[in-house]
Amino acid sequence: MDHVKDIDQQDFGREVLQRSGEVPVVVDFWAEWCGPCKVLGPTLEKVAQDLGGAFELVKIDVDANQELAAQFGIKSIPSVIAFKNGKPAAQFMGALPETQVRQWVEDLLPTEEDRQVDRARDLVLEGDELAAEAVLRDIVSRVPDHPEAVTALASLLIARGDTDEALILLGRLPRTAEVERLEAAARVTAAQEIDLSDIERRLAADPGDQKARLELGQALAARGEYEPALDRLLEVVRSGGDRREPARQAMVDVFGVLGPDHPLTVSYRRALANALF
């Protein structure tokens, strides 16, 4: 049957995790002896056929794939998990009626705005960032808290230095790792306007000028010179005073840009903790 597959653990990475980057994949965990599974299964298959490839249905026999079932915490069947972009996006248990199953599936499918975001991303890849921005601004004007449109637009704005607007847009969204990463990138990028030669003159005149040392660290980070930036910022944190907290935040922002596993993040996060405590 089109759009419906029986798979095992060996196929899961390809047929579910990878494939869900292209189209939602609904996984039906079932067993031959399960009465409700025999009710839900045909319902899911009918919805899959009716929607003609808008999503894919994958069926996994829990008796034959016990490790996989345990990995996803399947304790009762039927259990259904939808995957998008390689991650679980929604789930339910039990034999729901067709109307509820159909609504649950339709809520997973891309909206017109989602498709426009994909178009904007294609435009960026083609080098037409102005057209991409126009598409994203149109989406945001209609759906101000559309997560993917807002983060995509914020990324474009940060790249060209419009950090204030990017932060305003990001402030509309719930706190997620991606939102926090972009906010950190915006704050780091904002320091590109700092005049390094002016800072150097101020430090030459007064080596104890912690405000100038803070700005030097921020400016270096904005130019991608992360290690010397973190060194300067750490000096300010260690010195105490009213520049300590801005320097701490600037270091945390650099960690956000680099990511938690970057060697500089690991090393300087430990040094920051020692300086604070």
Per-residue pLDDT reduced to its tens digit, 156-172: 999 999 999 999 999 99
Q: Is the pLDDT of residue 185 over 90?
A: yes
Q: Is the pLDDT of residue 122 over 80?
A: yes
Supply the pLDDT for residue 168.
Answer: 96
- Three-class SS state of 70: helix
89 catalytic per annotation = no
The tokens for 8 are 């095992």
State the average pLDDT over residues 86-92: 92
Q: Which of 16, 27, 34, 105 is catalytic?
A: 34
State the average pLDDT over residues 73-95: 93
98 shares a domain with 25: yes
- CATH number of the domain to which 64 belongs: 3.40.30.10
117 shares a domain with 98: no
Supply the pLDDT for residue 183.
Answer: 95
235 shares a domain with 157: no
The tokens for 110 are 């891309």
Domain end among 161, 191, 221: 191
| CA-angle at 258, arms to 256 and 261, nearest 5° | 95
- CATH number of the domain to which 231 belongs: 1.25.40.10
90 shares a domain with 158: no
Domain end among 77, 108, 139: 108
Supply the pLDDT for residue 2.
Answer: 66
Domain end among 51, 86, 108: 108
199 shares a domain with 271: yes
Q: How confident is the model at residue 194 (pLDDT cuts 50, 70, 90)?
A: confident
37 catalytic per annotation = yes
Q: Which of 26, 37, 158, 173 is catalytic?
A: 37
Q: How confident is the model at residue 144 (pLDDT cuts 50, 70, 90)?
A: very high
Which structural domain, as residue segments, surrounds residue 81? 4-108
187 shares a domain with 198: no
pLDDT digits (tens, 9 = 90+) for 196-222: 889 989 999 998 899 999 999 999 999
Q: What is the pTM of this model?
A: 0.72
Mean pLDDT score of the chain: 93
245 shares a domain with 232: yes
State the average pLDDT over residues 30-35: 94
8 A C-beta contact, residue 26 and residue 84: no
46 shares a domain with 83: yes
Supply the pLDDT for residue 196.
Answer: 87
The tokens for 240 are 């105490």
217 shares a domain with 178: no
Neighbours of 60 (CB within 10 A): 27
229 shares a domain with 187: no
Dihedral angle of Cα 36, 38, 41, 47, to the nearest 10 degrees: -90
Supply the pLDDT for residue 52.
Answer: 84
182 shares a domain with 131: yes
Place of tokens 């009710």: 39
Supply the pLDDT for residue 160.
Answer: 92
The total domain count for the chain is 3
Q: List CB contacts of 226: < 8 A, sequence separation 6 or more.
A: 220, 254, 257, 258, 264
Percentage with pLDDT > 90 across the chain? 86
